[in-house]
């Protein structure tokens, strides 16, 4: 068995990370100290936004009215798929009750968090789908209050289509805010919101760092890095399809890794030859982003066998894993580390990013080794309860007291001893 790198990626720079941490720490401290005034100041300085922070009902209605009906239908289509999948996930969340021993009853309950903050990226692209993925899933989970934020554009605010999506999904409060200030406002419950129990949604490096720093005082879905995608392909795959699927993900940004793992050298060479032309055909700034990502972050890896290809994929633990190879059932059974899996030429990561239903907020940077993506489970607390009768209490007390004293925890032992008294 052999692994050959036909194209390797440059080492990822790490110097900027400390700068980002320092900037975010200062911003969060300022907002913690000065509240809404600091948020407004950052909105003006960073996004050029001096308008209303809270999107009024009238402004919501006006934004929704400006969205073309055809686009509304497309957004409704995607939201319905996302909702149906989330509802199916919720059906897997079970409550239970068991008599652990005679007289001791214990159980499990599923309780949604009370409030959630959903971040919808803006900037280069208007991420309509992120509004659908985060808010819909929280709503299906049973979250009672959802605040949504998204970066503004000077003089116009949040793009109309994103407002329509937020409104469709049931956001209780929409704030004209992006970046660290948007995250902090949701965490603190500023501008009439409720302090978020959990913050979810993708964002740039500053947003990700803000979530990381706030984790503990609030929950987060995950610490997200740049989006990444890996394609496994064999001799049956079309080089054109493989190339486009890689380019479409490199389009996300200059730091978005894409990887091809293949058992066919001719396919690898054909993809390497084709990608530059496909990138050149994109409009700007998409082409520049994809070109840099391909030059600096992409890898093409040649393997001898499909088992070897699977081992490489498991080691990379990609956010998105696409299989364009024979015997998809084998791959479904064999692969173990990915955020979301796409099997066969009829599907593509782009479907998952926008409309097909399973959530697109997924673990990046190898985190798929130990966690999955956003789901109703992330908005739900699995909690336990117990009660017992006198006989069970007596038995538990005897054993608890003995174990506690062996551990040196006399207070525990005496709390148990109390249950031995008549």
CA distance linking residue 339 with residue 367, whole number of Å: 8
Positive or negative: CA dihedral 78, 79, 82, 87:
negative
CA distance linking residue 103 with residue 116, whole number of Å: 39
- Measured in whole angstroms, the distance separating CA 22 from the mean position of its chain's CA atoms is 24
> Do 373 and 359 touch, CB atoms closer than 8 A?
yes
Q: How far is CA 249 from CA 195, 228, 237, 313, 411, in A?
A: 34, 7, 18, 17, 58
Q: Is 251 considered catalytic here?
A: no
Helix (H) or strand (E) holding 303: strand 299-303
> Do 105 and 388 touch, CB atoms closer than 8 A?
yes
Walk across the sheet containing 299-303 and list its strands.
Answer: 3-7, 299-303, 258-262, 229-233, 320-324, 340-343
> Do 197 and 116 touch, CB atoms closer than 8 A?
yes
Q: How far apart are the first and last CA of the chain?
A: 71
Please classify residue 95 by burial: count the beta carbons closer than 10 Å to its beta carbon, then call 0-12 exposed, 13-18 middle and 19+ buried: exposed
Give CA torsion, residues 232, 235, 237, 241, to 10 deg.
80
Bridge partner list, 54: 175
Q: Are strands 104-112 and 380-388 parallel, antiparallel or unpaired?
A: antiparallel
Q: Are strands 219-220 and 104-112 parallel, antiparallel or unpaired?
A: unpaired
CA distance linking residue 70 with residue 88, whole number of Å: 28
Bridge partner list, 215: 218
Catalytic choice (127, 145, 252, 320): 320
Bridge partner list, 388: 104
Bridge partner list, 149: 119, 175
Catalytic choice (127, 209, 252, 319): 319
> Do 271 and 243 touch, CB atoms closer than 8 A?
yes
Q: Is 412 considered catalytic here?
A: no
Active site residues: 319-320
């Amino acid at each position: 068995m052999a692994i050959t790198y036909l194209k390797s990626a440059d080492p990822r720079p790490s110097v900027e990370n400390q700068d980002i941490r320092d900037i975010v720490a200062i911003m969060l401290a300022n907002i913690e100290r000065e509240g809404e005034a600091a948020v407004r100041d950052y909105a003006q300085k960073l996004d050029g936004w001096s308008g209303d922070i809270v999107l009024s009902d009238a402004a919501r209605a006006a934004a929704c009215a400006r969205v073309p009906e055809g686009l509304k239908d497309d957004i409704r289509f995607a939201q319905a798929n996302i909702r149906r999948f989330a509802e199916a996930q919720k059906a897997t969340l079970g409550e239970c009750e068991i008599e652990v021993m005679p007289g001791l009853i214990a159980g499990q309950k599923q309780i949604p968090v009370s409030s959630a903050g959903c971040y919808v990226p803006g900037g280069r692209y208007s991420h309509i789908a992120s509004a659908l993925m985060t808010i819909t899933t929280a709503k299906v989970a049973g979250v009672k209050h959802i605040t949504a934020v998204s970066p503004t554009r000077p003089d116009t605010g949040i793009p109309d289509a994103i407002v329509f999506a937020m409104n469709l999904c049931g956001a209780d409060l929409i704030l004209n805010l992006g970046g660290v200030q948007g995250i902090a406002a949701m965490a603190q419950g500023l501008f009439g919101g409720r302090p978020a129990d959990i913050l979810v949604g993708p964002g740039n490096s500053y947003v990700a760092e803000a979530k990381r720093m706030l984790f503990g005082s609030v929950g987060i879905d995950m610490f997200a890095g740049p989006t990444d995608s890996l394609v496994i392909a064999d001799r049956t795959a079309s080089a054109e399809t493989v190339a486009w699927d890689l380019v479409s993900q490199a389009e996300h940004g200059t730091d978005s890794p894409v990887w091809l793992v293949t058992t066919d050298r001719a396919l690898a060479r054909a993809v390497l030859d084709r990608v530059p032309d496909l990138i050149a055909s994109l409009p700007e700034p998409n082409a520049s982003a994809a070109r840099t990502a391909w030059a600096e972050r992409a890898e093409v890896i040649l393997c001898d066998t499909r088992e070897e290809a699977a081992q490489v994929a498991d080691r990379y633990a990609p956010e998105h894993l696409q299989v364009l190879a024979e015997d998809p059932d084998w791959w479904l059974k064999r692969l173990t580390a990915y955020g979301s899996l796409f099997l066969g030429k009829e599907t593509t990561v782009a479907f998952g990013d926008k409309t097909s239903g399973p959530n697109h907020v997924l673990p990046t940077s190898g985190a798929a080794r130990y966690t999955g993506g956003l789901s109703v489970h992330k908005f739900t607390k699995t909690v336990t309860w117990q009660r017992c009768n006198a006989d069970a209490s007596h038995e538990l007390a005897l054993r608890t007291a003995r174990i506690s004293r062996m551990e040196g925890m006399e207070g525990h032992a005496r709390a148990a001893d109390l249950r031995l008294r008549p």
